[in-house]
Amino acid sequence: MTQKTATLTISRFEPGKDTVPGTQSYSVPYLEDWVILDALNYIKDQVDGTLSYRWSCRMGVCGSCGMMVNGEPKLTCSAFIRDYYPQEIRIEPLENFPVIRDLVIDMSDFMDKLTSVQPWIIREKEKPVSEGEYLQTPEQLDSYQQFSQCINCLLCYAACPIFGLETDFIGPAAIALGYRYNLDSRDEGNDKRNDVIKDVNGVWECTFVGECSIVCPKHVDPAAAIQRLKVESAKELMQTLLMPWGRK
Amino acid sequence: MIANRPDKSKLYYPQMPTAWWFKKWNYFFFLLRELTSVFIAAFLVVYLIQIYNMGLGAEHYAAFVERFKSPGWIVFHVVALIFAVYHSITWFKTASVILTPHVGSWAVPPWMVTALHIAAWMVVSVIILLLFVFV
């Protein structure tokens, strides 16, 4: 019996040689249980070792293998070939990011933005270990838990046209993670984080397209985080204007 | 800070296509929502002018309102109404994203937040309509 095959058309870009990316088509075995990442690994191992892309865990946890699959940002470890077969599958690097090589994007700008929102627990004064853990009730955990599921896969950035147009925008994932720590009952760093999050390049750059929440593979809702922060920010502004004596 | 940064001169910087809003229905509806604001703002300007004319006397106001019977003004008002309805619905959908009310430990589902807002909007609209008709 002839082995069924699927065709992947992959964006190729060699730095220093190409000025714009081109494409190359590959034929891979069609298997019911193969995801696109399996096909890329097959090409890399069996057909063309020069193909470059990122991947690690293969189980939707590390967030490394995000790419554009037929124009949609996807984790390729979770996108099955059977869902596209027999159509040709187009694989491109995540949109709105500079391309280093083939399917590998430059994440350094995102990493700087992520660091700027200080996505970690900030305490004004740490209590001694002898006093035990910082305890939380289930309700306190619930308030931020969905936002803590972000794996920094950057699909939300690839889906956000505002980030594509305004590259200074901090973007959905960084804001959602900042908000996650703002909501954490153990944290005392809201003011430090809000200087960045509630700035013009923060939540106010967002015009609520909402696509970031749609494409998130971990069902985080960055659009909600941003809109809620806008309301918070507007309330604070009104408080400052109407009750200037209450200003911190 | 990132220790090893790629050589920026060797990167490929993709450009957003001019007609990016045609790429996805969601982008298109987003842009349409933004565009509706222009018509709503235009309607409000006309409305303010209408109120100003009302202050100039009954005869003056009747002559002003007479102009609204022209096909151009009718089309403008119909388009403004459709866009106002569309914008309002998207606004109330946004409310369900922003508001997460709880009744005791029960979180009110987002669709209910939107539905309650739309219901309140309908009630207020009907009351205003009745006031115009009967008062």
- Judge whether B66 lies within some domain: yes
Chain B residues whose CB is inside 8 A of the A211 CB are 24, 26-27
User: Mean pLDDT over all residues of chain A?
Assistant: 95
User: Where in the sequence is the domain holding B55, given as residue range(s)?
Assistant: 22-98
pTM attached to this predicted model? 0.90
Domains and CATH numbers, chain A: 5-105 (3.10.20.30), 108-246 (1.10.1060.10)
Q: What is the DSSP string of A2-48?
A: PPPEEEEEEEE--TTT-SS-EEEEEEEE--TT-BHHHHHHHIIIII-
Sheet holding A22-29, edge to edge: A22-29, A5-12, A89-92, A66-69, A72-75
Signed CA dihedral, A203, A208, A209, A211: sign only: positive
Angstroms from A226 CA to nearest CA on chain B: 9
Q: What is the pLDDT of residues A218-229, one digit of tens each?
A: 999 999 999 999
Looking at chain B from residue 4 to 43, which residues have their Cβ under 8 Å from any Cβ of chain A?
5-8, 10-14, 16, 20-21, 23-24, 26-27, 30, 34
At B134 the pLDDT is 87
At B5 the pLDDT is 86
- Judge whether B52 lies within some domain: yes
Q: What is the pLDDT of residues A133-156, one digit of tens each?
A: 999 999 899 999 999 999 999 999
- Judge whether B46 lies within some domain: yes
Q: What is the pLDDT of residues A60-97, one digit of tens each?
A: 999 999 999 999 999 999 999 999 999 999 999 999 99
Region for residue A70 given its phi and psi (left: phi exceeds 0; alpha: psi -120 to 50; beta: otherwise): left
Q: For B104, name the nearest residue in chain A, comparing CA atoms only.
A: A139
Q: Say if residue A1's pLDDT is above 70.
A: no
Using alpha carbons, select from A177, A171, A175 the residue that is nearest to residue A120. Answer: A177
Q: Is B133 exposed, middle or buried (0-12, 13-18, 19+ CB in 10 A)?
A: exposed
Chain A residues whose CB is inside 8 A of the B9 CB are none
Angstrom distance (rounded) from CA A157 to CA A121: 24
Contact A205, A237 (CB under 8 A): no
Say yes or no for a CB contact (<8 Å) between A231 and B98: yes
Contact of B109 with chain A, judged by CB distance below 8 Å, is answered with: no
- Alpha-carbon separation of residue B120 from B44, B92, B124, B127 (angstroms): 22, 11, 6, 11
Task: Choose the closest CB to B14 out of A99, A221, A227.
Answer: A99
| Burial state string for B2-37 with b = 16 or more CB within 10 A and e = fewer than 16 | eeeebeeebbbebeeeeebbeebeebeebbebeebe
Using alpha carbons, select from A177, A187, A189 the residue that is nearest to residue A225. Answer: A177
Residues in chain B where the model's pLDDT stays below 50: none
- Judge whether B108 lies within some domain: no
Using alpha carbons, select from A14, A17, A104, A13 the residue that is nearest to residue A65. Answer: A104
At B1 the pLDDT is 55
Angstrom distance (rounded) from CA A52 to CA A172: 26
The proportion of chain A whose per-residue pLDDT surpasses 70, expressed as a percent, equals: 98
Coil, helix or strand at residue B24: coil
ipTM for the assembly = 0.88
Say yes or no for a CB contact (<8 Å) between B30 and A115: no
- Judge whether B135 lies within some domain: no
Q: For B91, name the nearest residue in chain A, comparing CA atoms only.
A: A208
Tell me the CATH number at B55: 1.20.1300.10
- Which of A108, A116, A231 would best serve as a mutation to test chain B binding (most B beta carbons within 10 A)? A108
Contact B33, B86 (CB under 8 A): yes
- Judge whether B109 lies within some domain: no
Chain A residues whose CB is inside 8 A of the B27 CB are 161, 209, 211
At B96 the pLDDT is 86
Task: Choose the closest CB to B10 out of A16, A112, A214.
Answer: A16
Give the total number of structural domains in chain B.
Answer: 1
Q: What is the pLDDT of residues B73-84, one digit of tens each?
A: 999 999 999 999
- Judge whether B117 lies within some domain: no
At A181 the pLDDT is 98
- Whether residue A86 has a cis bond before it, omega within 30° of 0: yes
- Judge whether B128 lies within some domain: no
Average pLDDT over residues A51-57: 98
Angstroms from B117 CA to nearest CA on chain A: 17
Coil, helix or strand at residue A90: strand
Task: Choose the closest CB to B16 out of A16, A106, A161.
Answer: A161
A141 is written with which tokens?
A: 């955990």
Q: For A92, name the nearest residue in chain B, comparing CA atoms only.
A: B14
